[in-house]
Structure 1
């Protein structure tokens, strides 16, 4: 198991391994075992031709490396159920944060309705559940430039919290349960 400690410069293992993508990178290349789980090209909400280069996200895509790294750092087996439980957990955190930003802090009711209709449905009803957290990030990234620093901080803090010595994931055995976000 990799060390939970950050490097001397404060960079965590995930960033050391994968870094932040450049403006021309869309996502990290998936491992061959996950290739069959990826959606077909052009299935995201923001098709490549519709993207404004100034709106392209500079935070890494979560699927699959973020989840693999979190599980490995916690000594959990990297398999389908654990990845799915972690995706469900991250998705719930992102939805909550997105609603707080959109409807609470900025009070953008119209965007809040679109956000709720698009993402506040059961994750099993989503066409590509493993991509939903990344789609939420893409939506929030394109929505407002003021959300971008918050997204960067949210992802960095979430990774640090999930891989730290007080990680919620350490409460569970080798197999993570579904509904971790409901358990507190």
Structure 2
């Protein structure tokens, strides 16, 4: 299994050449009015407008700092997660899908916005921007319709907290392992292998070989490359939606994994500050 961190996206030279202008309503919604953010969103404005439904209003637009990989568009109805300044729509998130919003200092001078539910994480350089975006998403989440009382937890909102990045960063902090990109990815890979093994147990116990095949078609090799960091969360979502009989085991699984990884002889305690890849472990390195 090969994992790669998403590479930094460099904005093309044409981005700095002018030619596009941002409409006034979009400029007012842009939380960080930096010139390069205006130019980037101007290129995606028509695409963003094409995503909007009748009478839907854009409340806030935020471009991810450092890489400009993601652009978040908060409307009065949804959160749109886009790339390339809005030219590519990755996900439309309804208010009821948002389970929580948190802003976390990274310790390196930046701030990570974590939107639980869709598993969206965006990094900002200035705390004011990060908290403004977080507040807008929280206000959107409050618009969720009241939950219908069904008397059953069969559909069940996922009770397992979103793992990336907090679950992994907390483990690294607790054990004194540096939170380098390599260590974070390799830790995710190790947890991925553990959850994959448990998933196979569930499929075997419930005798659902067709589900096992679909699961492995999606997640073998680490799943979609652009979801590497969220791969374990994606597996949990898949299993939770697949069969309610997984709900209770899944809620117990991650405290067990945490206990295992905090043990004195765990890979986090014995690696001298480095987490080896799964391939290295298998090879006996």
| TM above 0.5 | yes
User: Are 1:83 and 2:184 matched, yes or no?
Assistant: yes
The structure with the greater share of residues assigned to helix is: 1
Give the SS at the match of 1:29: strand
| 1:135 alignment partner in structure 2 | 234
CA distance in 2, matches of 1:154, 1:126: 25
CA RMSD of aligned residues (A): 3.2
Q: 1:124 to 1:117 in 2, by over 3 A?
A: closer
Q: Structure 1 residues 30, 147: CA separation in 2 closer, same or farther (over 3 Å shift)?
A: farther
Superposed CA deviations along residues 164-184 of structure 1, whole A, max 9, x for unmatched, are: 323232120112111176368
Residues 39 and 77 of structure 1: CA distance in aligned 2, closer, same or farther (over 3 Å): closer
Contact 1:39–1:128 under 8 Å retained in 2 = no
Q: How does 1:30-179 map to 2 (within 5 A)?
A: 31=104, 33-35=111-113, 38=120, 54-102=155-203, 104-120=204-220, 122-123=221-222, 125-179=224-278
Q: Which has the larger radius of gyration?
A: 2
- Alpha-carbon distance in 1 for matches of 2:199, 2:113: 28
Which runs of 5 or more residues in structure 1 are unaligned?
1-22, 41-47
Alpha-carbon distance, 1:125 to partner:
4.9
Q: TM-score, normalised by structure 2?
A: 0.47
TM-score, scaled relative to structure 1: 0.70
8 Å CA contact 1:27, 1:60 repeated in 2 = no
8 Å CA contact 1:92, 1:181 repeated in 2: no
Structure 1 or 2: larger strand share? 2
Offset of 1:126 from its aligned partner? 2.4
User: Matches of 2:162 and 2:283 in 1, distance apart?
Assistant: 26
User: Alignment partner of 1:171: what SS?
Assistant: coil
